[in-house]
Amino acid sequence: MPYLGGEETVRELKRALSNPNVQSEPLRYRNTVLRVVRAMSQGVNVSGLFSEMVKACATVDVVQKKLVYMFLCSYASLNPELSLLVINTLRKDCQDPNPMVRSLALRNMSNLRLPSLVEYVEQPLTAGLRDRAACVRRVAVLGWAKLYNLQSGSDIDAAVVNELYSLLRDPDPVVMVNCLRALDEILKEEGGVVINKPITHHLLNRMKECDVWGQCEVLRVLQRYRPQSDDELFDILSLLDASLVSPHPPVMAATLSLFLSLCADLPAVSLAALERVSGPLLAACGSGSREMRFTALCHIQLLMRSVPGLMGPHFKRFFCGYAEPAYIKQRKMQIMVELVNDENVSMLLDELKGYCTDVNTDTAQAAIQAIGHIGRSYSDRCLEILTGLLGLKQDHITSAVVQTLRDLVWVCPQCSDTVCSALEGCEETLQDSQGRQALLWLLGVYGDGVSSAPYTLEAFIDGVRSEVSLGVKMELLTATMRLFLTRPAETQDMLGRLLHYCIEEETDMCVRDLGLLYYHLLKCGVEETRNVLQGRRSDPSLGVLIGRPAEPISQWACSFNTLEPLKKGGTVTQTASRGSPEHEASKPKTAVELPETLDCSHIHTDPPDSASTGQRSDSAAELPAASLTLSLSPTLSPEEFERRWLQRCSLRSEEAAEESNDFLQTEDRIYCSAVLQRSPQTLQAAMQLVNIQTLAFTPPSTLPWRVFFYTHTAGTPASTLILGELLYAGEADPTPKDEEEEERKADGEAAAEELTGREDRQVEVKVTLKQQPKDEEAVRAFLSVLSTVLHTLSSERHDEHAATHV
């Protein structure tokens, strides 16, 4: 930082420092030194005073010593030769009877950070390790760490390392903790301090003596220890139990971290630990310091990835205070969205609605997005709030609402009518390009439902010359094209004008190319254009996966209690993207708590309850593939799933599929009650139990109701991949199916089941399976597993129905 008059100051200070009159008066001398240090911290380059300052350290005044040492440490690297002069004074101070002086000298000696001086520092440091005063030993221990840090890669002196290990038994707890820190630094290359059983037990016993910082250090280091037996493990865990609920958030977090690493193979214990810390973590969320509150919130989000319901009963604790900073409010909202359930949804929505008018526009927009996210499961209530917000006529609110509506309607197309009626008049309040882009997209796709759509587009087209946003121009072009297909009469003229402008006048190449592309497309005929623009898109319901699946703890345990969780933007508001709606689907996570493969045969031999399923499983047991083994790995990403699924669709249309050797597609029907009302989580958990990975759901009680899933069958002759879809399109036809399908049912028992099914309010769920490579027996076995799962689910709720149904 430039400092005016710096040179003048330095000259004047130099004069004063070398003035014998000043030197003879201790107080004046010290004040001059003080002025040097003050100038230094103000950014003046006072390195020219080095030699004068070296002289000034030969004093009995401790305060002056401290100031001079600090100066010397800051500039030592610029004056390595002169620094040698200081070493003498420092070494003399190391012999001082006053331990404070000794520790001061030792600390600064190791702070000089000059490789050339290492040889002079080693001897006092060695002596320091054996000093009577604990404060000297503390400094000496860390001094060794500094020394090795300075010359990393140099040989490690085994004697020092041994001495440091033995100092772990030092009566002073800070010396002990510093030893851990120093050894960690010195043995960095070898993986840090070695923690064996005696050391572990020693550290655990002495942890109570340490302050918060020391406890955290001990807990961190102990993560390296692997107990030799379960008994030992549980002894350690019970010793740690008290600090798990420590009122000091850092200690609590460090203990949990240790718990998770010790119990990596014991998911049940880890989960119990998470439950146990939820109290202290919530307390930390109410801490006086907002940074601590923020940290606690971020860590709660981490925990909720594995235990989504952890904070369920405490949802009110995440309500925002008026004066809280935006970063806290946004995290709290992300958590609130995750906690929504039938009981609290109206309260949470009321609360979020209040934040939509927050003075901080980002908070307001985040609140609107959060409501949109909840809208995927509770669309009616959320749409009411969102459309109500449009009435405020605030540009940032309207923009966020329109974007949220666009994202919502993409995954819940059934909302489109409400959205369309809300759109009228929005264009007047929209200012930013993101919001206008969203509006244009909606008008393009749902323009037939918005009576004023062509007029709105026309206004945009009239102003296209002054439009600066590239995104808006591109979106305008696409939207006009789409609207032309649904409302040609009103749009044709303006489309012509827009295309003319884009091709002839527009300077941006992207817009021009897009214009040309559409122009040539139109020349191919309207039908062709329609095929392209309104062609089949990926099924939006594929994307709706309500509530993320519980992740195994190991997914995040390593980032717990670091900076990591603070940096990641949360999961909810960020995914509600601001660009064009993108295909969203959670990545399926293989649950490590479950065995990778599961022998399903026990499911057949152990029928849930009813005789019918029993009968079915008996027949299944007769099949040769009864010992079918399913497995979740390798995982299939949603994108990959979709690609394969659609690829198979096209194949079928060419009627090649049935014949193809390596591919099998079958359809079947399973009758079950109540499955539709089960929450997706339950269904998913049940499917996972038999190693079927569900990828996507429609929200419960929407029609058509769909589930997509996949699994791998392992076994002879080769393992196969099965992709599947469960579909319930509405009330089953009383006389369903053509004969072909009847025939395809191998055992024919389904017909009987169907009869009973009809009496029993059962619904007919269509199963479509695609298998590759073809293995009919595996498919049949798989079908029986699948129907067992579905029946189990139904019977859980409707035991009595299940009974009669048999």
Instruction: Pick one of 142, 274, 695, 802: the residue that binds another protein (CB under 8 A).
Output: 142
Compute the half-sphere exposure of residue 692: CA atoms within 13 Å on the CB side of its CA: 29
Strands (E) across 495-612 are located at 597-599
Nearest to 403 by CA among 353, 440, 351: 440
Cβ 299 to another protein, closest distance in Å?
A: 8
Closer to another protein by Cβ: residue 256 or 722: 256
* Interacting residues with another protein between 190 and 219 (CB under 8 A): 208, 211-213, 216-217
The region of 128-136, 462-470, 471-479, 503-511 touching another protein under the rule CB under 8 A is: 128-136
Q: Are 409 and 442 in contact (CB under 8 A)?
A: yes
Position 400 contacts another protein (CB under 8 A): no
Indicate whether 325 belongs to the interface with another protein (CB under 8 A).
yes
To another protein, the closest distance from the beta carbon of 298 in angstroms equals 8
**56 binding another protein? (CB under 8 A):** no
CB atoms within 10 A of CB 485: 17
Q: Which two tokens stand for residue 636?
A: 């299939």
Using the contact rule CB under 8 A, the part of the chain among 37-45, 333-341, 401-409, 711-719 near another protein is 37-45
- Footprint of another protein on 292-311 (CB under 8 A): 292, 294-296, 298
316 forms part of the interface with another protein (CB under 8 A): yes
**DSSP H helical segments within 564-637, as ranges?**
564-567, 572-575, 601-605, 611-622
Q: Cβ 353 to another protein, closest distance in Å?
A: 11
Please report the sign of the dihedral spanned by the C-alpha atoms of residue 192, residue 197, residue 199, residue 200: positive
Q: Which stretch binds another protein (CB under 8 A): 116-124, 352-360, 446-454, 758-766?
A: 352-360
Tell whether residue 566 is a contact of another protein (CB under 8 A): yes
Binding of residue 343 to another protein (CB under 8 A): no
The gap from C-alpha 510 to its chain's centroid, in whole angstroms, comes to: 34
Minimum separation from the CB atom of position 419 to another protein (A): 23
Residue 166 touches another protein, criterion: CB under 8 A: no
Closer CB to another protein, 252 or 625, in the complex: 252
Dihedral sign computed on CA atoms, order 398, 400, 406, 410:
negative
| Under rule CB under 8 A, residue 187 binds another protein | no
Q: Cα(109)–Cα(84) distance, rounded to whole angstroms?
A: 11
User: Binding string, 74-93, against another protein, x = CB under 8 A?
Assistant: x-------------------
Q: How many residues bind another protein (CB under 8 A)?
A: 89
Nearer to another protein, 262 or 412 (CB): 262
Residues 241-280 that bind another protein (CB under 8 A): 242, 247-250, 253-254, 279-280
Q: Which residues contact 734 (CB under 8 A, 6 or more apart)?
A: 758
Among 205, 289, 421, 531, interactor with another protein by CB under 8 A: 289
**Part of the chain binding another protein (CB under 8 A), chosen from 13-21, 405-413, 564-572, 698-706:** 564-572
Q: Which of residues 510, 563, 611, 752 is near another protein by CB under 8 A? A: 563
Q: Would residue 312 be called left, alpha or beta, if left means φ above 0 and alpha means ψ between -120 and 50 degrees?
A: alpha
CB of 295 to another protein, least distance (A): 5
Query: Among residues 173 and 447, whose Cβ is nearest to another protein?
Result: 173
DSSP sequence for 111-127:
HS--GGGHHHHHHHHHH
Per-residue CA distances from 298 to 246, 294, 560, 570, 681 (Å) = 19, 6, 10, 8, 24
Minimum Å gap between C-beta 385 and another protein is: 16
* Out of 397, 442, 457, 477, the residue judged to bind another protein by CB under 8 A: 397
Q: Which residue has the tokens 């909606």?
A: 442
Least gap, CB of 257 to another protein (angstroms): 9
- Could you tell me the two tokens for 40? 């230094």
**Interaction of residue 5 with another protein, rule CB under 8 A:** no
Phi then psi dihedrals of residue 447, to 5 deg: -60, -30
Q: How far is CA 213 from CA 66, 209, 286, 359, 366, in A?
A: 25, 11, 22, 39, 36
Distance CA 728, CA 705 (A): 5
Task: For the CB of residue 579, give the shortest distance to another protein in the complex, in Å.
Answer: 18
